[in-house]
Structure 1
Amino acid sequence: MTRMPGDLYVKYTSGDDGSAAIPAGEAYWASPSIWLTDPAGNSIPSAVVGEDNWVHVQVDSTNTDPRSTVKVQTWVCDFTAGFIGPDAARASSGGASGQTATVATDVSQATPGVAHVVWRADATDLINGPNPDTGHLCVGANVYVETLPAPEGARLSSGRLDVIDNRHHGWKNVTVVRAAGEGPAPIAFRLANPGPEVDVFVVTARELDGEAAMGQVEQEHLLATGFVDLADGAPDPPPVPAACLREPRERTRLAQGGQLVLRGMPDTTPLRPAEQRARFALVTAEGQDHALEVGIRPGEQVPVVLAVDTAREPGEVHTFDIVQQTRDGLVLGGARLIAVDVPDWHCC
């Protein structure tokens, strides 16, 4: 496919400058430019049902000339469809039309802009989680400009986002869990077939090495949870209302220095990449392994569990990418999961 022309883009990783295509095999579903907050501007790892949740999307540009009236369309999606976008959108986030906001400032290479929309999740959005009280959904974004003389991109009301070949599209999907207790910690999700006929898909899981396990996005998400704190850093920056945010509050805090630690521990327990890899496997009714072939009928949702068993050294972080692709290697989508080892008694 040919990359869509234009200057505007949504970052797929922290170092993305929009000058090149997304390399094959990159985890483009963990964009640092899409995040959720409460109305006070505090980042949240998952939405709260029945309350206003703010979706923020940062738009960057490869052009030094400023662009005005830049618009961002967002959808909250069930990633088990094998794709995200209008055709996978949740009704609570506006359905196929999604929700649209205009970036209040001009966007250029030197000055990114941020759009904000409010999403009110409901009980039907509590899906794909390890228990009925949690949900795992993805946020998709589409950037466009309608005004003359230089329209760019297009508003969507159907179809799927194509993050690889259209830099106007972005995808955010990161989940953090506490791993405690004895035996493997199971994390459940589902796979679906986006095509019209029965097909076989390959689902794989891999653990990221070293610093990749705790990059910028991962650290921000860890700090947004209730069981992680920042020690020895600068004083917290003043609160910024959600509608005024230019970046996640956690990004601002981390830039000032400090160390991520577990809350509620008798001694300082820093978070750090695990020294030893976890034992893990994908499990279906057909078997278990790091990679499985799964036959799926159209409209069917096949349950899959990632069973993770770690050394349980408090504060160690294990990060996994779970990827669904066709037999010929076409990546349909993925999920990033961060597991943090905590003591059995840990409850913060």
Structure 2
Amino acid sequence: MLPEIPSPLLSKLAGYYLDKRAKGDSNVRIDYGVTSPRLIDNNDNLDPAIMEVLHALNEREPDYPQLHIQFARYHHAKQSLLEMERYLDKALALEPKYFSALHLKGEYYYQTKEPVKAYKHLKEALENFGSQPEFTQDEFYRETENPGKTNMYLGNIFYYFFDKVKSREGALDDEIADNEIEKMENYSFAQKFYTNALNLNFTSPELYYNMGRINYLKGEYTLALNMWLHLYDDFVKSPELMLALGNAFYNSGSGSGPGNYEAAKGEYLKLISVMEYEADKIRTVDLSKVSHVKLFQTLSSAYNNLGAVYQNTGEHGKRDLAYWKAIDYAQKMNQENEYARVNLARSNRDAEPILDKTIPFSIDIYREDMR
């Protein structure tokens, strides 16, 4: 029966199954009651069903370009990047200007940390989006990618490789950005592409956080807050991100009066209550573990900044305790929290406290040097 179905419909069915991959506590067994081993594997993915459909499509029309796109997407999901590349090359050999193939080839190079090649293919994808091959005009055809996502990946290139690439006359060079001006210029390029993605109605937690952090680095704290307030679920899963939110609230009055200290305090206290519970379980800090570094560094920063809030609200007893806690958590990592030391030393002079403005690099990467 399957080989008799039109190629666009078979491809669409394979794409539908691919989009139903298990994520967290959501999978087809739980959501739809699918239990047949003919349809799902041991990980509750629809891999057997996907392969059955793709083999039927291959039998029907082996040179159908989207067949190879779906195979590439399947192998991408399985993290088989060499197989992904092989199928993308087949699709591009059939249709060199095919948007999805160019986009996914850009994603492939992004995954393999080749930003210049990724940029080239993603830009080509956008340039060819408006003039797609004839087979894409079929009424049953469903595009697997979209230009908003392409723009997000272009933004990611400038964001995650901000210190390793330079843009010249619309092209990208694999060259070290050796000063802060060039690095911030790359962040501005990232911001432009992220804005394009949002304008094309593409959103993701990663995009919102990165866009907000760029606003934050530029001192645009209200804009940063507008981005980060989309991330409630992510703050629950990754409480260290609350440091960014707290800092943005603290600075939200820059140039026009005091910040929103109560909101900042709320974020710092929520972060501390969650992360301190985890820290209390650890007897010896292991700096080779990212989770330990993230936990104790965030607590040290949060306590310093909480002390800064108390300084501004006149709660001096709580202020000093917060600074000492910041110092203590830093010492557990055999480090010194210089912000807290300085703040503590001059706290009786009514001097403006120094905020630790360092925030997580991205949702999944705590610091730049952990990329």
Shorter-chain-normalised TM-score: which range?
under 0.3
Give the TM-score taking structure 2 as reference length: 0.24
Select the structure with the greater relative contact order (CA < 8 A; seq sep ≥ 6).
1
Task: Point out the structure with max Rg over C-alpha.
Answer: 2
